[in-house]
Chains A and B, each alone.
Chain A
Amino acid sequence: MELISHDILIVGGGGAGLRAAIAIGEENPALSVGVISKVYPMRSHTVSAEGGAAAVIKPSDSLENHIYDTISGADWMADQDAVELFVNEAPNEMIQLEHWGCPWSREPDGSVAVRPFGGMKIERTWFAADKTGFHMLHALFQTALKYNNVTRYDEWFATKLLVHEGTCQGVSALELRTGQIRAIGGKATILCTGGAGRIFPFTTNAAVKTGDGMSLAYRAGVPLKDMEFVQYHPTGLPGTGILITEASRGEGGILINKAGDRYLQNYELGEPLDVNHPEHPRKRAMELGPRDRLSQAFVQERKKGQTMEGPYGDFVHLDVRHMGQKKIDKKIPFVRELCRNYVGIDPVHELIPVRPVVHYVMGGVHTNNDGETPLPGLFAAGECACVSINGANRLGSNSLTELLVFGARAARAAVRFSTQTGSLATTEIIAQADQEQQRIRNQFFQPASGSETIAQLRVELTQSMESGAGIYRTENSLQATCNKIRELKERFQKVELADHSLTFNTELTTALELEYMLDVAEALAHSAVARTESRGSHQRTDHPDRDDERFLKHSLAYQTGGDPRIEYLDVVITRWPPGERHYGSK
């Protein structure tokens, strides 16, 4: 096997990966960069983000506001030094993207327009109608095309980190077109592989979001941090899980139950204002409360029998009719397009059925504020990483900005690291990639010995995650899920593939993805068992209170031969002492 090598490798070609690639080009164009992505970069899941990206730009807003909204939204689990630098760097990153052509929606005077999102004191979400992620991703992808120090490996699937003498020196990757495993060396490697929503049955996440980078790091001994915190977005379309953006509520949409009541008023989210009231929608209240609280309110409403029943589960209604066609077409045209295409209703005239849906994993690969992981040479940014700025509940519209700020920071740190690093251990890392080729052949291409199918194991995994590790959890439910995952890991050894060909073998990549999902699910369920408190998105009915004394700490899950080992790390508190989360007060 030959070694392909670059100064810096980026695994994943979504928002964080492309921002990182460009940052390296800006920082030091003499460095060669390899971007390894299992899909063409513009297919990455950043493309599906709708509502917007937060950064302080208007004189009426302040950095202090954005910091406070983020920290309180996170139920004080975010590291405050990280949040502070994130908020400080966000405006420049967003302006930079504007300079790269992102078609932000504008005010009449030509300045960038902003809208309110959940959990915000004041509107600060930049948007490109309701296809913000799509426009950001394409602007980044098209801008990245002009850097000729960047080599793309489109449709190459990373299978393992190549680690020699305690440093990460690259990855092995399956080239989909040829079916060959390749060794790709890099003095520094940045994981930008996104989240893992696909471990749940009902998710807004695209098929690609299978936790690949999280698992790659976990297998290399890097801990996964705060994995128990999973964000349910309150408004997904039943059946498909397609996201109806929070911007629909930021622009005035309301949530109503079976009786037609704005039920959020019963959950300490404030009093409803009439939709025609000039102050509607009020910030940090009612429909603009944080996502964790809104999703939990749905479950409580269901218990009271106040949700409606449909073929794809219970739902409530999102009503945007009062916005009128003109505003809907201008501000949330994609919502209308999605409702018409996938539900057969027109939100201009009809109510939209919605239910909570798995949307985002707050946890991820443990990094510091520069995207460095504990493994020298390995960096991570974006949803696959956990810095942490999102804590126990991410504020809507912080994740797109996070891709930019931390994609760039991780890239700059990787530049520093790679320029201080000597040559690669070529022979050793090629040998590791050879072994990886053997492992995959032996495990998946041996003649029929197994009896398990990928689809069956995946269904059992996702169902167990929902029943045991959903919006409300208990020790018993989580333990059952942990047991199930252990069983599925054993059964995975008996997976049999029908497809033994080399050319574009997507059955093989699906199997490798399932193996990643099992790792991520394992870290998640065990971290959740160990956290015997309720905080943000992690709600334990057997431990209903927040316990700062014992759990104002990040969890760190390490892979072992058996169950993961869970350790803890203090949350960084600087100027904002832990307090109560208040929403809905005037």
Chain B
Amino acid sequence: MAANEASQPEATISLEVFRYRPEQEDEPTFQRYEVPYREDWVVLDALNHIKDQIDGTLTYRWSCRMGVCGSCGMMVNGEPKLTCAAFLRDYYPQEIRIEPLNYFPVVRDLVINMDDFLDKLTEVQAWLVPEEEKPVSEGEYLQTPAELAQYKQFSMCINCMLCYSACPVYGQNPDFIGPAAIALAQRYNLDSRDGAADKRAEVIFSHEGIWECTFVGDCTRVCPKNVDPAGAIQQAKVTATSDWYRSVLVPWGK
């Protein structure tokens, strides 16, 4: 084994990584790292190798490394990806370029500031607002598998922000509520236990941007959990033009 290793140099792959250290430099730079190439490594493994063995200053977020916590989204060769689910073998032997997610302020290196999204999630009231509160003592709300299936897909959002960094409208207009927040609003709108779709629609349509969404569908394409935010936005618009306009803009038309 040792002889083999000595005679055959280990395969490596280059990572070209976006660096931005606000205390030291005004402008971002790129830094190249050479890491071992392993077929079963994901991009995150390579970043962890750099952090542990080569450069302790490289800064990024990660946690579950199984595609569910939503921490490790980055641009990988210009595409928004969860780095824990992006395999080196899909790029090798080409170099891989790693950047922070598009359209967000960069805190440092690959860490973005996503406060804007969390504010929007609160604004759209992404929680259940039952039409009538039922005491716990009366048991669960009944919900058939078919009713569950109405919204289940939109409930799968892990808040990873890949859809925002793929959204040309959000890139132009940060006021746009954006794909994930609209999908999560729609997740509650479609829940048989909920009764606040009108209130959410008011918020969504009071912001600019939604009418500029042209259903390019990049948000849906990059979503690692098949949430289909583009579909949610389309549904919201259809509901808005039929219901919300009728009730809010022409209340006498009811």
**Could you tell me if B127 and A142 are in contact, using CB atoms closer than 8 angstroms?**
yes
Among A314-322, A368-376, A496-504, A515-523, the stretch that binds chain B is A496-504
How far is A103 from B125 in the complex, measured between Cα atoms in Å?
17
Interface residue? A308 (CB, 8 A): no
A337 to B121, CA, bound (A): 27
Q: How far is the CA of A124 from the CA of B68 in the complex (A)?
A: 25
Q: Would you call A48 and B66 a contact (CB within 8 A)?
A: yes
CB of A43 within 8 A of CB of B63, answer yes
Q: A45 at the A/B interface (Cβ < 8 Å)?
A: yes
Q: Does B174 contact A (CB under 8 A)?
A: no
| Chain B residues, Cβ within 8 Å of A506 | 51, 59-60
A323 contacts chain B at the CB level, 8 A cutoff: no
- Hey, which chain B residues are within 8 Å of A107, CB to CB? 145
Whether the pair B65, A109 counts as a contact (CB closer than 8 A) is: no
Once the chains bind, are A99 and B136 in contact (CB under 8 Å)? yes
CB of B152 to closest CB in A, whole Å: 6
* A100 adjacent to B107 (CB under 8 Å): no
Looking at the complex, which one of A96, A110, A142 makes contact with B136 (CB distance below 8 Å)?
A96
| A99–B128 touching, CB < 8 Å | yes
CB of B251 within 8 Å of the partner chain: no
Is A103 within 8 A of B148, CB to CB?
Answer: yes
A145 cross-chain contacts in B, Cβ below 8 A: 121-122, 126-127
A residues less than 8 Å from B26 (CB atoms): none
Please tell me if the beta carbons of A131 and B148 are within 8 angstroms of each other in the complex: no
Check B127–A146 contact: CB distance below 8 A.
yes
> Counting CB contacts under 8 A, is B239 at the interface?
no
Q: How many A-B residue pairs have CB under 8 A?
A: 159
Q: A239 CA to B96 CA in the complex, in Å?
A: 23
Residue of A nearest to B67 (CB): A341
A455 contacts B53, C-beta separation under 8 Å: yes
> Do B62 and A103 touch (CB < 8 A)?
no
Q: How far is the CA of A139 from the CA of B157 in the complex (A)?
A: 12
Among A92, A134, A501, A502, which residue has its beta carbon within 8 angstroms of that of B68?
Answer: A134
Q: Contact: A103 with B152, CB < 8 Å?
A: yes
Partner among A39, A95, A101, A108 whose Cβ is within 8 Å of the Cβ of B71: A39
- Taking a contact as CB atoms under 8 Å apart, the answer to whether B143 and A498 are in contact is no
Nearest to A499 among chain B residues (CB) is B57
Max chain A CB contacts within 10 Å: which of B24, B127, B151?
Answer: B127
Q: Measured between alpha carbons, how far is A499 from B59 in the docked complex, in Å?
A: 10
Q: Mark B90-119, 1 if CB is under 8 A from A, else 0.
A: 000000000000000001110100100010
- A507 contacts which chain B residues (CB < 8 A)? 51, 56-57
Q: Are A239 and B40 in contact (CB under 8 A)?
A: yes
Query: Contact at A503–B22, with CB atoms within 8 Å?
Result: yes
Judged by DSSP, the binding face of B is loop
Given A105-B148, A207-B62, CB of A501 within 8 Å of CB of B136: no
Shortest distance from the beta carbon of A508 to any chain B beta carbon, whole Å: 10
Q: Mark A318-348, 1 if CB is under 8 A from B, else 0.
A: 0000000000000000000110011000000
B216 within 8 A of A: no
CB distance from B133 to the nearest CB of A (A): 8
Verify if A82 is at the interface (C-beta below 8 Å from B).
no
Contact in complex: B121, A92 (CB < 8 Å): no
Digitize A240-251: 1 where CB-to-B-CB distance is under 8 Å, 0 elsewhere: 101100000000
Q: CA separation between A242 and B44, bound complex, in Å?
A: 15
Interface size class of A (residues with CB under 8 A): 35 or more
Q: A501–B70 contact, CB under 8 A?
A: no
Shortest Cβ distance from B76 into chain A, in angstroms?
A: 15
Q: Looking at B61, B107, B155, B191, which has the most chain A CB atoms within 10 Å of its CB?
A: B155
Decide: A106 near B148, CB < 8 A? Known: A95-B136, A96-B136, A143-B127: yes
Distance to closest chain B CB from A255 (angstroms): 21
- Tell me which of B61, B85, B184 contacts A142 (CB under 8 A): B184
Q: How far is the CA of A111 from the CA of B145 in the complex (A)?
A: 9
* Distance from A49 Cβ to chain B, minimum over Cβ atoms (Å): 10
A98 interfacial contact with B, CB 8 Å? yes
Q: Which residue of A lies closest to B42 (CB)?
A: A342
Chain A residue numbers with a CB within 8 Å of B67 are 337-338, 341
Q: Is B27 an interface residue (CB 8 A)?
A: no
CA distance A177 to B157 in the complex (A): 26
Chain B positions within 8 Å of A143 at CB level: 127-128
- Are A177 and B21 in touch, CB under 8 angstroms? no
- Say whether A43 contacts B145, CB under 8 Å: no
Q: What are 24 of the A-B contact pairs (CB < 8 Å)?
A: A39-B63, A42-B158, A42-B159, A47-B70, A48-B64, A48-B69, A99-B130, A103-B151, A106-B143, A109-B142, A112-B140, A139-B128, A143-B128, A146-B127, A154-B118, A206-B63, A206-B64, A207-B62, A207-B64, A240-B66, A338-B66, A454-B56, A455-B52, A503-B108
Given contacts A503-B21, A503-B23, A506-B59, 20 further A-B pairs with CB under 8 A are A40-B159, A42-B159, A43-B63, A47-B158, A48-B66, A101-B188, A103-B152, A105-B148, A110-B142, A111-B142, A134-B158, A142-B184, A145-B127, A206-B63, A242-B66, A341-B85, A454-B52, A499-B57, A504-B107, A504-B108
